[in-house]
């Protein structure tokens, strides 16, 4: 079992021998790089100055992300406006703390501005400039950024080719986007039968701006993971980056499952812990609350437990489909998911002990542990 170090913000991780171009780029910037299996609270991380971006920032490279996905935290001071930046790749932003506004544009074309607040999620489209503005007078804003930049650097080891602060027309692509439509209210996507199978029955919403993931109510019942939870998938127009969110009731827990590397899981609401393990090896226990970040390593089983008095939500950003793994496919459940009836008794015992410490008891019906096809009563959103 891995125990959090210091104030519980960072977990230890095994040493690495392989290093990628993205690693060398991060090292060259001189910013803090947090490793391990989870970050208990991104709001308390110590950051370093990134002069080129005009803000403080830090990279978070948890086990299973290396060479595949990038996560970093940036902080915008009160009333500050950061310099414009143009990325040649898509990036998704989640607001960990604060409120503000973002403007997106191409040189010589229309601009689109939108306001965000805590728990907002939005896309920064490739080949477009973006600029952040903290609209709060006294409180900094913290943003979590997620992208596939490490893969680009492995294919073409030239960071300057993918990031620009040049406001001129040179190198402008032909891709034209209707930014007004792009950042309109998300719409329910019409999915094929193949997509429905792949998404495990999730409803899929298409949009570039989701105002509050702690209150998003477009969830559907998901019996597959247990706990009577609900879930929803989100996709961004023209981008391969995707995500899904699960909500599960107080005093319940999800079934253990596993998939490929590179995910980043943030907690919009709730109090609990996750357990992650490689078969036949020690387990890592990751406590979480709003502001936590978790990445299950490649093909590690992991399981989420809600020990609070309110429903909990976790929002997972997905790696490229090449790394998605198999657990999302219903037909592979026997191999990549552990049913309640098959789990070790210690799982239930630990959960009930954690609840007892808080003066609570489990709400999982005893029948769920004996009936393999137990049907849950739908939980309220």
Give me the domains of the chain, ranges plus CATH numbers: 21-177 (2.60.120.10), 187-369 (2.60.120.10)
What is the pLDDT at residue 376?
82
**Residue 144 near residue 42, CB atoms below 8 Å:** yes
Residue 182 or 210, more confident: 210
What is the pLDDT at residue 175?
57
Alpha helices by DSSP H, listed for the chain, are: 21-29, 149-155, 179-182, 193-198, 333-336, 345-357
Cα 72 to Cα 79: distance, rounded to the nearest angstrom? 21
Indicate the pLDDT class of residue 1, thresholds 50, 70 and 90: very low
Please, is 349 exposed, middle or buried when counting C-beta atoms within 10 Å of its C-beta (0-12, 13-18, 19+)? exposed
Read off the pLDDT of each residue in 269-274 and give the average, rounded to a whole number: 98
Of 175-184, 202-211, 279-288, the one with minimum mean pLDDT is 175-184
Listed in sequence order, the residues at least 6 apart from 331 whose beta carbon sits closer than 8 Å to its beta carbon are none
Indicate the pLDDT class of residue 378, thresholds 50, 70 and 90: low
Listed in sequence order, the residues at least 6 apart from 332 whose beta carbon sits closer than 8 Å to its beta carbon are 326
What is the pLDDT at residue 19?
87
The whole-model pTM stands at: 0.90
Indicate the pLDDT class of residue 202, thresholds 50, 70 and 90: low
Read off the pLDDT of each residue in 174-189 and give the average, rounded to a whole number: 83
253, 214, 229, 223: which is closest to 380 by C-alpha?
Answer: 229
The mean of the pLDDT values for the chain is 88
Read off the pLDDT of each residue in 206-220 and give the average, rounded to a whole number: 95
What is the pLDDT at residue 174?
47
Number of H helices, E strands in the chain: 6, 27
Listed in sequence order, the residues at least 6 apart from 226 whose beta carbon sits closer than 8 Å to its beta carbon are 252, 253, 254, 255, 340, 368, 376
**Residue 166 near residue 106, CB atoms below 8 Å:** no
Indicate the pLDDT class of residue 223, thresholds 50, 70 and 90: confident
């Amino acid at each position: 079992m891995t125990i959090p170090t210091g104030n519980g913000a960072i977990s230890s991780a095994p040493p690495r021998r392989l290093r990628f171009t993205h690693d060398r780029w991060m090292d060259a910037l001189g910013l803090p790089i947090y490793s391990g299996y989870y970050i208990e609270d991104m709001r308390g991380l110590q950051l370093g100055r990134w002069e080129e971006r005009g803000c403080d920032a830090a990279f978070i490279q948890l086990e299973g992300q290396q060479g595949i996905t990038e996560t970093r935290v940036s902080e915008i001071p009160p009333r500050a406006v950061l310099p414009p930046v143009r990325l040649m790749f898509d990036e998704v932003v989640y607001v960990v703390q604060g409120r503000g506004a973002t403007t997106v544009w191409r040189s010589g074309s229309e601009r689109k501005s939108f306001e965000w607040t805590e728990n907002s999620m939005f896309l920064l489209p490739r080949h477009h400039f973006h600029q952040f503005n903290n609209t709060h007078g006294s409180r900094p804003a913290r943003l979590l950024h997620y992208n596939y930049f490490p893969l680009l650097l492995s294919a073409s080891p030239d960071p300057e080719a993918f990031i620009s602060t040049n406001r001129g027309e040179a190198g402008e692509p032909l891709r034209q986007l209707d930014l007004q439509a792009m950042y309109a209210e998300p719409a329910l996507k019409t999915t094929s039968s193949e997509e429905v199978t792949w998404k495990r029955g999730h409803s899929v919403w298409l949009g570039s701006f989701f105002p509050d993931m702690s209150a998003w109510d477009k969830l559907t019942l998901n019996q597959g993971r247990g706990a009577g939870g609900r879930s929803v998938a989100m996709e961004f127009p023209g981008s391969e980056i995707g995500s899904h969110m699960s909500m599960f009731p107080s005093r319940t827990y999800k079934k253990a499952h596993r998939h490929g590397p590179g995910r980043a899981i943030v907690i919009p609401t709730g109090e609990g812990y996750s357990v992650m393990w490689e078969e036949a090896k020690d387990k890592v226990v990751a406590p979480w609350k709003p502001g936590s970040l978790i990445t299950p390593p490649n093909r590690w089983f992991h399981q989420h437990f809600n020990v609070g008095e309110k429903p909990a939500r976790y929002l997972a950003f997905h790696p490229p489909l090449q790394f998605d793994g198999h657990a999302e496919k219903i037909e592979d459940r026997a191999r990549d998911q552990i049913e309640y009836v098959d789990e070790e008794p210690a799982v239930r015992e630990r959960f009930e002990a954690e609840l007892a410490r808080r003066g609570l008891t489990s709400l999982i019906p005893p029948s769920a542990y004996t009936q393999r096809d137990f049907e849950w009563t739908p939980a309220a959103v």
